[in-house]
Amino acid sequence: MMARHTWLKQTPDHWPNRHRTILDSELCSEELEHRSSVHVTVTQQRESLVDINPFSSRKTLLKVTACVFRFVNNVTNINKSMNLYFTADEVQNDEYFWIKYVQAEFYSAEISALRSNKQLRNSSEIKGLVPYLDEGCLLRITGRLLEAELCFGEKHPIILPRRCKFTELLATREHERIGHCGAFATLTQLRKKYWIPKGRQLVKTMIRICLICKKYNAEPADQLSGQLPRDRIS
């Protein structure tokens, strides 16, 4: 037994390294599978800040996002925010966070090309919009209204994908804010700040599933006329 541990008789400099890196070849297949599965789980938890799918309101989504960011700020920083109400800057930063999130998810190739000063692919659905990255790294339209007397957001609206939960929440919010008007009015309000490729189809879809609009636009039921009483026909 002592022949196997001859290093015990030597100085500590000659002792084996206890922190030696374990190679993958020294692990069995089950251990490798277990290690890879744990790695994937941790990566998914880091990517998902807030699950946007259960939300049906833009206002609620931004409030929950603000709570998460405030909690992270209070944990990591000394200057803690004890304000019970959310400021306008917090809400705006949360909205910009989701805009950047969905743009990175749907237009990652376009953003990488613009950062590298390369041309967009011909298959890109926003190539004809001549997009560019502003100071906040948001995708905006170059547009042809540079000389118009409009605000910056109307001249260069933010590009948002159509098949996106966050875009649906924005369309629903604008539709409710203007009193459940039609598709043209809702799309006009959206385009004051955002540009959605094929946005008219999205707005029509959101209006079609709006419960309040369903009630007001419902057609009256056709009732069958009953038989006249004997007193009226005699």
Q: For residue 46, what pLDDT band results from cuts at 50, 70 and 90?
A: very low
The number of angstroms, rounded, from the C-alpha of 177 to the middle of its chain's C-alpha atoms is 21
| Residue boundaries of the structural domains of the chain | 53-72+83-217
Q: Give Cα separations from 187 to 20, 148, 164, 183, 230 (angstroms).
A: 62, 20, 16, 6, 57
- Report percent pLDDT > 70 for the chain: 77
Average pLDDT along the chain = 81
Determine phi and psi for 58, rounding to 5 degrees. Answer: -65, -40
State residue 40's pLDDT score. Answer: 38
pLDDT in tens, 127-165: 889 999 998 899 999 888 888 888 988 999 999 999 999
Give the lowest-confidence range in 11-25, 78-92, 153-167: 11-25
pLDDT in tens, 25-41: 544 554 444 444 444 33
CATH fold of 53-72+83-217: Endonuclease III; domain 1 (1.10.340)
Q: Which residues pair with 141 in a beta bridge?
A: 131
Average pLDDT over residues 187-202: 93
Assign 152 to helix, strand or coil.
helix
Tell which wins on pLDDT, 73 or 181. Answer: 181
- From edge to edge, which strands make up the β-sheet containing 139-141? 131-133, 139-141, 158-159, 194-195
- Report percent pLDDT > 90 for the chain: 41
Average pLDDT over residues 200-204: 94
8 A C-beta contact, residue 161 and residue 107: yes
**pLDDT at 220 > cutoff 70:** yes
Count Cβ atoms below 10 Å from residue 204 Cβ, excluding itself.
14
Give dist(CA 199, CA 185) in Å, integer: 12
**Cα angle 39, 108, 101; round to 5:** 70
Q: Which residues pair with 195 in a beta bridge?
A: 159
State residue 16's pLDDT score. Answer: 64
8 A C-beta contact, residue 174 and residue 167: no
Tell which wins on pLDDT, 55 or 16. Answer: 55
Q: Which token pair is 4?
A: 């196997």
Task: Give start and end residues of each alpha helix (H) in 107-151.
Answer: 108-115
Give dist(CA 234, CA 231) in Å, integer: 6
Tell which wins on pLDDT, 209 or 79. Answer: 209
Q: For residue 86, what pLDDT band results from cuts at 50, 70 and 90?
A: confident
8 A C-beta contact, residue 130 and residue 110: no
| Long-range contact set of residues 123-129: C-beta below 8 Å, sequence gap at least 24 | 125/197, 126/159, 126/197, 129/159, 129/195, 129/197
Q: For residue 106, what pLDDT band results from cuts at 50, 70 and 90?
A: very high
For residue 139, the surrounding DSSP H or E stretch is: strand 139-141
**pLDDT at 77 > cutoff 80:** no
